[in-house]
Amino acid sequence: MRVLVWRAAVLLGALVIWEVAARPLNPILYVAPSRLPAALMRMLSVKDLPPLPEHLWLTSKEVAAAYLLAVAAGLWFGFLLGLRRTLGRIYEPLLAALYAIPSVVWYPSLMLFFGLGPASKIAFGLLLGFFPIVLSVLAGIRQVPPLLVTVAVSMGARPGAVFRKVMLPAMASTMVGGLRSGLALSVVGVLVGEILGARSGIGYVINYAYGLLMTGEYVVLVVLIAAAVLALDGAGALLEARVRRWAG
């Protein structure tokens, strides 16, 4: 309980510092929190911004496409390399090396190939989401005790049953962790793509507001998107906790 009070105090303190620091400064560059509600109302009522729901919907579709592709590719490669030891020994180090590259260097090439439309954003979200998923599947498979698999097989379990009853519970919590980071990174990928250059999507609206020096609206957008991202990740965390309980 006292911890909660302290946490609230920290949040309040941060807001007060923000307010006090922003007040005397140039209001175009520094937006005090007390000005945010008015900016939100302006954003919802006045037509000085592109229609928000439309762009939000497009971004959500991009994220969904990127994440689904990342899950499919990540699971496929993960199980391929994890279950075939030889392939894994050869190609896992190459994957790990690719993961060490700051992902954003790929974006200009993707933009060149896919253009400024949604395709390049989906491709970048896919690329970012793919790595944590494939690496978590590989790590998960390594956690499966080989003895359990041997015992199950020797007792006559079919491959499908071994997979469902032995492997999946042993690797579930690691894998779900990877799926969760993959989702966060797919969102980041789409947002980065949109902010670096797009004609639609929520990142475009951000650039639009900031480009016209509508900083109040810009800050509102940033706060709302950050909250949405955290809520999405929070839902992922709840799901992860459930899976962990199931896997024991």
Partner 1 sequence: MSRVTVLGCQLVSIVVLLLAWEGAVRVGLADPLFIPKPSAVAAALGTSAGDVLPRLADTVLKTLLGYGGAVLLGVTAGLLLGSRPRLHEVAMPYVVALYGVPKVLVLPWIALILGIGLPTAVLSAGLFALFPIVLMVAAGTRDVDPTLIMVARSMGATRSAIARKVLLPAVLPSVLAGLRIGLIFALLGVLLAEMFAGNRGMGFHLQRLAMAFKAPELFAATAIVSILSVTVVLSLEHVNRRLGRWR
Contact characters 114-153, partner 1, x per CB under 8 A? ----------------------------------------
User: Long-range pairs for 163-167 at CB < 8 Å and ≥24 separation?
Assistant: 167/141
Binding span for partner 1 by CB under 8 A among 42-50, 96-104, 151-159, 238-246: 96-104
Quick one: tokens of 170? 């042993």
CB neighbours of residue 242 within 10 Å: 11
Helix axis angle, 118-143 relative to 107-114, nearest 10°?
130
- Shortest distance, position 97 Cβ to partner 1, whole Å: 5
Kindly state whether residue 106 participates in binding partner 1, applying the rule CB under 8 A: yes
Kindly state whether residue 91 participates in binding partner 1, applying the rule CB under 8 A: yes
Could you say which of 34, 109, 143, 150 contacts partner 1 (CB under 8 A)?
109
Q: What is the largest CA-CA distance in the chain?
A: 76
Binding span for partner 1 by CB under 8 A among 68-76, 136-144, 163-171, 180-188: 180-188
From CA 225, how far away is CA 212, in angstroms rounded?
19
For partner 1, the closer of residues 136 and 167 by Cβ is: 136
From CA 210, how far away is CA 179, in angstroms rounded?
33
Cβ neighbours of residue 22 closer than 8 Å, sequence gap 6 or more? 30, 31, 32, 33
Kindly state whether residue 206 participates in binding partner 1, applying the rule CB under 8 A: yes
Quick one: tokens of 137? 């599947």
Please give the residue ranges that form the binding site for partner 1 (CB under 8 A): 3, 6-7, 10-11, 29, 86, 89-91, 93-94, 97, 100-109, 111-113, 184, 187-188, 191-192, 195-196, 206-207, 210, 213, 215, 218-219, 222, 225-226, 229-230, 233
